[in-house]
């Protein structure tokens, strides 16, 4: 017998304590596990507020810096996606590669940088995605490289297609002097459940306003160490951004079509 007590009161008490313990345990798991923790921003997703009383010039393409992540091995096959929208001398940004590419570098591709060494994060690297930490660090590296008259940093993959004029128009709705994290969920519901509904999926690209990118760049080291086991860079960054108190603003024009391999 589970409850060898004659006394009904004690039996009920024991059952209540057991049930309460189970409930507290479940609450604890959902509240403290970093994976679920970062997902909780779902309840606070910001509603876009068009910038009012602006006393600054309209946002244009020169205010936007693109931070692209790629690999040297795959650039030759991926570059066509990027070159379909990249306009040399008009779009500004840098492509971060894992190692130096063979020269000459095509003039039609974005200028590249080789990502800094990430071996010092070895003990924090339990990510399933191979380049997770290197890709997360693109925010810091691009901020350190280009930060003059920048309003927005747009982070993309090496196979993201951007309609540049549309993107600039959308970003222009927001006051870049505030903290904004603008992106979209995945179009695969399973991915949103697995990762987070509060996360901007990197495949579509997402935008960080200047002050947010700056705060991220300054805190990235601590952040990478705090989340050693999330799947990839966009989830690491979302968790860091949530810790800074900023939640995702959804823009439905950004589409991530997921490869169901995840």
Ligand X SMILES: *[C@@H]1O[C@H](CO)[C@@H](O)[C@H](O)[C@H]1NC(C)=O
Contact positions vs ligand X (CB under 6 A):
57, 60-62, 88-89, 107, 143-144, 147
> Exposure of 239 by Cβ count < 10 A (0-12 exposed, 13-18 middle, 19+ buried)?
buried
Of the pair 132, 217, the CB lying nearest ligand X is at 217
Place of tokens 């810091």: 140
Q: How far is the CB of 154 from ligand X (least distance, A)?
A: 16
Of the pair 23, 61, the CB lying nearest ligand X is at 61
Instruction: Determine the Cα–Cα distance for residues 179 and 247; give it in Å rounded to an integer.
Output: 9
Q: Write out the two tokens for 173.
A: 């709705």
Of the pair 199, 237, the CB lying nearest ligand X is at 237
Instruction: Determine the Cα–Cα distance for residues 69 and 239; give it in Å rounded to an integer.
Output: 19
Of the pair 68, 199, the CB lying nearest ligand X is at 68
Q: How far is the CB of 49 from ligand X (least distance, A)?
A: 22
Q: How far is the CB of 90 from ligand X (least distance, A)?
A: 7
Cis, bond preceding 258 (omega within 30 deg of 0): no
Q: How far is the CB of 117 from ligand X (least distance, A)?
A: 18
CB distance 150 to 63 below 8 Å = yes
């Amino acid at each position: 017998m589970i409850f060898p007590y004659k006394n009904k009161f004690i039996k009920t008490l024991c059952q209540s304590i057991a049930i309460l313990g189970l409930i507290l345990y479940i609450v604890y798991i959902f509240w403290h596990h970093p994976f679920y923790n970062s997902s909780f921003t779902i309840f606070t997703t910001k509603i876009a507020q068009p910038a009012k009383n602006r006393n600054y010039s309209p946002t244009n393409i020169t205010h936007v810096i693109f931070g692209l992540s790629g690999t040297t091995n795959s650039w030759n096959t991926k570059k066509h996606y990027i070159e379909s929208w990249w306009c040399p001398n008009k779009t500004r940004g840098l492509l971060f590669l894992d190692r130096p590419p063979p020269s000459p570098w095509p003039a039609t591709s974005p200028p590249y940088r080789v990502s800094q060494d990430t071996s010092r994060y070895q003990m924090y690297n339990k990510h399933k995605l191979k380049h997770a930490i290197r890709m997360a660090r693109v925010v810091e590296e691009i901020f350190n490289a280009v930060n003059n008259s920048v309003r927005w940093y747009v982070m993309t993959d090496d196979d993201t297609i951007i309609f540049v004029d549309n993107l600039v128009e959308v970003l222009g709705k927001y006051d870049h002097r505030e903290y904004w994290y603008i992106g979209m969920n995945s179009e695969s519901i399973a991915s949103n459940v697995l990762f987070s509904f509060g996360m901007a999926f990197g495949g579509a690209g997402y935008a960080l306003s200047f002050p947010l990118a700056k705060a991220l760049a300054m805190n990235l080291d601590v952040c990478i160490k705090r989340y050693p086991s999330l799947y990839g860079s966009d989830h690491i960054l979302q968790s860091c951004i949530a810790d800074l108190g900023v939640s995702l603003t959804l823009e439905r024009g950004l589409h991530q079509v997921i490869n169901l391999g995840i």
